[in-house]
Structure 1
Amino acid sequence: MNTVLGKERTIGGLPVAVVWGYVATLLFMVGDGLEHAWLSPYLIEQGLTVQQSATLFTAYGAVLAIASYFSGVLTEAWGPRRVMIAGMIAWLVGQILFIEFGLKDLNYAVMLPTYAIRGLGYPLFCYSFLVWVTYRSPERILATAVGLFWAAWSGGLYVVGSYFPAFMIPKIGYIGLMWSAIIWVLIGGIVGIFVVKDTKMGKSSANSAKDKFKSLLSGLTICIEKPKVAIGGIVRIINSTGIGAFPIFFPLYLSSEYGYTTEEWLQIWGTMWVANIAFNLVIPYISDRWLGWRNTIMWIGSVGCGVMTLVMLYTPQVFGYNFWAMMLVGIFFGIVLTGYVPLTALVSSMAPDKKGSAMAVVNLGAGLAYFIAPAIVGAFIGSIGVHGVMWIFALLYFVSAILMIFMKLPNEEKQDENVAEKQSGERRELAEIK
C-alpha cells in the first residue's frame, strides 16, 4: 500500500525511490549474469584450456573483491549516485571491449584484462545502492529492506540470468546474448541513477582529499575501532564460501557416484535459489518482528546451513539416485540461507555513523569468498575427498554460529547487564535472609 510520510511517498514503509532501486538492481544483475552459467564451457569448447578459463574468472574475482570493498567507503566519500555511475561505465567499457576485441577472436590477452574490468561493475553499482538502502530505510524494517535487495540481486543473477539465456541462445547465439546484456545493464543503470539521490551518507562524508583518503581507509580502521564489524565480515565470508563452492565439485560427485545429469543438477540448483528469493521476503520479516537479527543469523543461517550441508552430502548415500529428494534438500537449503540476510543490517547498526565503512567490510567478505571457496576445494579435495570438504564447509557454518554469540547490539548488552545486576541483587538479598 502506498502511504505518505511527511512529503515522501512510501510503499510498505520503504521510500518509493528505494523500491525502484530494487528494480534497477534486478535489471543490472540480469545483464551481469547472462554468461555465468555457460561462458567457461563455451571457452573451453572454443579451444581455451581449463587453466586459462579458471585464470579468467580468478582475475574477475580479484577485481570484484576490491570493488566490493571500495563500494562502501566510496559511497560515503562521493555519494551513491557517482559510485553507481562509475560502476555502470566500468561494466559497459569492460563488456564492449571483451566482446569486440576478445571473445569474437578468442584473443586471450585481451579477454583477461577486459573481463577483469567488468568485475568493477556490479559491486560499485549494486553495493553502493545497498549502502544507500541502509541509510534510507527505517530501522524497524531494515532487515526486510536488505532482504528485498538480495531478492532482487539473486533474482537477476540466478533466476532471470539463467532462464533468459536458455531461451535466447538458440535464437541469437552466444555473442548476440552477450550484446543483449548491455541493454539490461543500461536500463537498470539509468533507472538506478535516476532514483538515487546524492544525499550525505554519514560523518565520514567530506570534501577534502585528506578526508576522502581517510574515508577509503576507514573500512580497515573500523575493524580495529569496532571488532564486531570485523567479526561480521568473517561471518559474511563463511556465508558465501560454502554455498559458492558447491558448484565447483558437487555436481561432478553426484554425476559420477549416483548418475545425476547436469540438467538435473541445474534444476536443483535453480530451484534452491527460487526458494531463497521467496524466503528472502519472509525470514527477514520474521527477524525484524520477532526473532531478532542475531538469533536469525545464528540459528536459521549458520546452524541451518551447517545442518543442510551435511544433509546434502548424505541424502544420496541414504536414498541413492532420487531427484525429488535432492530437490527437497535444495529447497530447504535455499530457505535457511536467507537466515544470513539480516547480517547487513546487524553489522551496519554496529557503526551507525559509519555505515558505509561497515558495509565495506561486509562487501569485502562477500568478494573474498570467491577466492576462499575454490582454494579450500583445491587444497583438500585430493586428500580428504568430497566428504571431507563438505564437512569443512559444515564446520565453518557452525563456527559462524559461535561467532554470532559476540555480535550483540548495544541495547542487548545493556539488557544483559540489567539482568545480571538484578540476579546479583537477588542473590545478595537471599544471602542476607539466610
Structure 2
Amino acid sequence: MKSQKLLFGFMPSSLIWGYIAIAIFMAGDGFEAAFLSKYITDMGYTEAQSAFIFTAYGLLVAISAWCSGVVAEIITPQKAMCIGFILWSVMHVCFMIFGIGMHNYPLMVICYGIRGLGYPLFLYSFVILIIQNVSESKVSTAMGWFWAAYSIGFGVLGGYLPGYINPIIGEYHTLWMSLIWVIVGGLISLITLRNVKTDKSKANLSFKEKTEELTKAVTILFSNKNIFMSALVRIINTTPIFGFAVIMPWLLVGTNVTDQGLGFSKTEWQNIWTVFMVVTIFTNIIWGILGDHIGWLRQARWFGCIGGAIACFAFYYIPVSFGHNYLMAMIPAVMFGFTVAAFVPMTAVFAALEPNHKGAAISIYNLSAGLSNFVGPAIATIMVPLFGIVGAIWAYIALYIFAAILTLFIKVDQK
C-alpha cells in the first residue's frame, strides 16, 4: 500500500478522488447549516422545537459515527460509504416531502434524525481508507487535508452558495438542490474508490468475530483511559460549531426583541459562517503539518482549547458590543477558524493509542466527532431558555477550558 505514487509527499494517488467526493458530498450536506434552524422557526415553530430537531439529528449522527470505523473495517470502507450515501439521499427526500412539505413536525424530527445516520458512514469510512493507505507518521498531515476537503464542502460551498441562491429560488428549493450535490459526491466515490486497496483481514472474519470486533468500539472506551479522555477532548473540539449553527442566526439575524437579532441579514450571517469555513481550509492543512512537529496534544491544548475559549468569547461579545458591524463580526469568525482546526492531530492520537485496534479507536474518534453534533445543539436547547444565548456561549467556553486540563493527563507515544 505504501509503494504507490504519492501526491504532496503523503497522499496515495488513488485517494485523491475520495477527497474530492468528500468535498462535494459535504457541500450538499452543509447547504442547510447556516439557515435551517431559522427557517424552521420562520415556519412557526419555537426555538426550542427547532433546536430539538437538531438535537435528535445529532444523537443519531453520533450513533452512526461510533459504528462507522468498525463497520468500515468489517464490510470494507467502500461499502460503508455506499450505505451512507443511499441512506442520506432517501431520508432527505422523505424529510422534504413528508416533513417540511407537509409541515409535519414529528416527521421532520424522524426523517431528519434518520438522515443523520447517513453522512457519518460516508465521511468517516473514508478516514479508515486514509489510515489503511497512509504511513502513521503522515496521518496528521493526511487528516489535515481531509478536514480541508470537509471545510471546502460543508463550510465554503455549503455555506457560501445558499447565501446567493436563497434570494433567487428560496430556501425550500435550496434544500432540494443539496440532494444533487450529495448524489454527485456519492457517485464519484462509488466509481473512483472501488479499486483502492483495503485491509480485508477483518472483512473476512466470521459473523461472531465481526460482532466481537464491533463490541471493541464500546469496551475500548473503558479499558483505555487515554482513549476516554481523548474522546472527551474530541467531543468538545467541534461542539461550539454545531451550537453556533443553531444560536448565532438567532443572535445576529432579525431586528426585534423576539428574534434577539442585531439586524444582520441572512446573507450576511451566511457569509460570516463561510469566512470561518474558508479559514479552516488552510488552517486544517497548516495545523496538520505543524502537529507532527509541535506535538499533537501540545498544539490541541494551547491553540485549540485555550484559543477556542477566547474565540467563543469573541464570537458573542464583539457583535454585541459593536452591533450590526459586518467587518467586526468577521474577526471572531477568523479567530475561530484558526483555533478549531488545531485539533486535527487528534486522529493520529487515537490511532497511536490503540495500534492493534485502529478501527475501534477510530470508531471512538468518530463517535466523539458525532456526539458534538448532539452536544452543541443540546447545550443550546438547555441553556438558551434558561440563561439566553450568552449562557450557551459561556458553557462552550467552560468546555474548552476543561478540555485543556484533560490534555495534561493524556499519555501518547508520538513517533
Pair in the same fold by TM > 0.5 = yes
What SS does the aligned partner of 1:406 have?
Answer: coil
Task: Flag the 1:140–1:113 CA change in 2: closer, same or farther, 3 A.
Answer: same
Instruction: Give per-residue Cα distances to partners, 1:215-243, cap 9 Å, x unaligned.
Output: 22111111233221111110011112233
Q: 1:402 aligns with which of 386, 405, 408?
A: 405
Offset at residue 206 of structure 1 (A): 4.4
Offset at residue 120 of structure 1 (A): 1.6
Structure 2 residue 278 is matched with structure 1 residue 274 = yes
Offset at residue 341 of structure 1 (A): 0.9
Offset at residue 173 of structure 1 (A): 4.1
Identity %: 35
Contact (CA 8 Å) 1:11, 1:19: kept in 2 or not?
Answer: no
What SS does the aligned partner of 1:36 have?
Answer: coil
- How far apart in 2 are the matches of 1:389 and 1:53? 16
Contact (CA 8 Å) 1:80, 1:198: kept in 2 or not?
Answer: no
Contact (CA 8 Å) 1:34, 1:181: kept in 2 or not?
Answer: yes
- 1:309-324 superposed matches below 5 A: 309-315=312-318, 322-324=325-327
- How far apart in 2 are the matches of 1:153 and 1:233? 20
Match of 1:307 in 2: 310
What SS does the aligned partner of 1:372 have?
Answer: helix
- 1:194-205 superposed matches below 5 A: 194-196=191-193, 197=195, 199-201=197-199, 204-205=202-203
Offset at residue 66 of structure 1 (A): 1.0
Q: Decide which moves more: 359-368 or 308-317.
A: 308-317
Structure 2 residue 190 is matched with structure 1 residue 190 = no
Match of 1:167 in 2: 164
> What letter is aligned with 2:114?
I
Instruction: Give per-residue Cα distances to partners, 1:247-294, cap 9 Å, x unaligned.
Output: 443554567789452444443332122112221111211222x21212
Match of 1:426 in 2: none
Instruction: Give per-residue Cα distances to partners, 1:51-97, cap 9 Å, x unaligned.
Output: 54444333322221111111111011111011011101111211223
Match of 1:347 in 2: 350
Contact (CA 8 Å) 1:240, 1:366: kept in 2 or not?
Answer: yes
Task: Flag the 1:170–1:388 CA change in 2: closer, same or farther, 3 A.
Answer: closer
Q: Decide which moves more: 343-352 or 83-92.
A: 343-352
- How far apart in 2 are the matches of 1:119 and 1:12? 35
- How far apart in 1 are the matches of 2:302 and 2:288? 13
Offset at residue 370 of structure 1 (A): 2.6
Structure 2 residue 147 is matched with structure 1 residue 137 = no
- 1:375-390 superposed matches below 5 A: 375-381=378-384, 384=387, 386-390=389-393
What SS does the aligned partner of 2:285 have?
Answer: coil
> What letter is aligned with 1:69?
W
Contact (CA 8 Å) 1:205, 1:215: kept in 2 or not?
Answer: no
Q: What is the TM-score with the length of structure 1 in the denominator?
A: 0.84
RCO higher in structure (CA 8 A, sep ≥6): 2
- 1:353-432 superposed matches below 5 A: 353-381=356-384, 384=387, 386-410=389-413
Q: Decide which moves more: 329-338 or 65-74.
A: 329-338
Contact (CA 8 Å) 1:202, 1:354: kept in 2 or not?
Answer: no
Q: 1:224 aligns with which of 208, 222, 225?
A: 222
Q: Decide which moves more: 298-307 or 385-394.
A: 385-394
- How far apart in 2 are the matches of 1:98 and 1:395? 35
Match of 1:237 in 2: 235
- How far apart in 2 are the matches of 1:391 and 1:180? 36
Structure 2 residue ranges without an equivalent (≥5) = none
- How far apart in 2 are the matches of 1:399 and 1:225? 22
- How far apart in 1 are the matches of 2:85 and 2:10? 29
Contact (CA 8 Å) 1:204, 1:354: kept in 2 or not?
Answer: no
- How far apart in 1 are the matches of 2:41 and 2:324? 29
Contact (CA 8 Å) 1:29, 1:156: kept in 2 or not?
Answer: yes
Match of 1:41 in 2: 38
Task: Flag the 1:278–1:16 CA change in 2: closer, same or farther, 3 A.
Answer: same
Structure 2 residue 149 is matched with structure 1 residue 152 = yes
- How far apart in 2 are the matches of 1:172 and 1:243? 27
What SS does the aligned partner of 1:410 have?
Answer: coil
Match of 1:415 in 2: none
Instruction: Give per-residue Cα distances to partners, 1:184-226, cap 9 Å, x unaligned.
Output: 1222112212333475548655421111111221111112332
Which one has a bigger Cα radius of gyration? 1
- How far apart in 1 are the matches of 2:324 and 2:40? 31
Offset at residue 343 of structure 1 (A): 0.8
Structure 2 residue 124 is matched with structure 1 residue 127 = yes
Q: Decide which moves more: 68-77 or 34-43.
A: 34-43
- How far apart in 2 are the matches of 1:62 and 1:275? 28
Instruction: Give per-residue Cα distances to partners, 1:288-314, cap 9 Å, x unaligned.
Output: 2x2121211111111211222234444
- How far apart in 1 are the matches of 2:237 and 2:116? 21
- CA RMSD in angstroms comes to 2.8
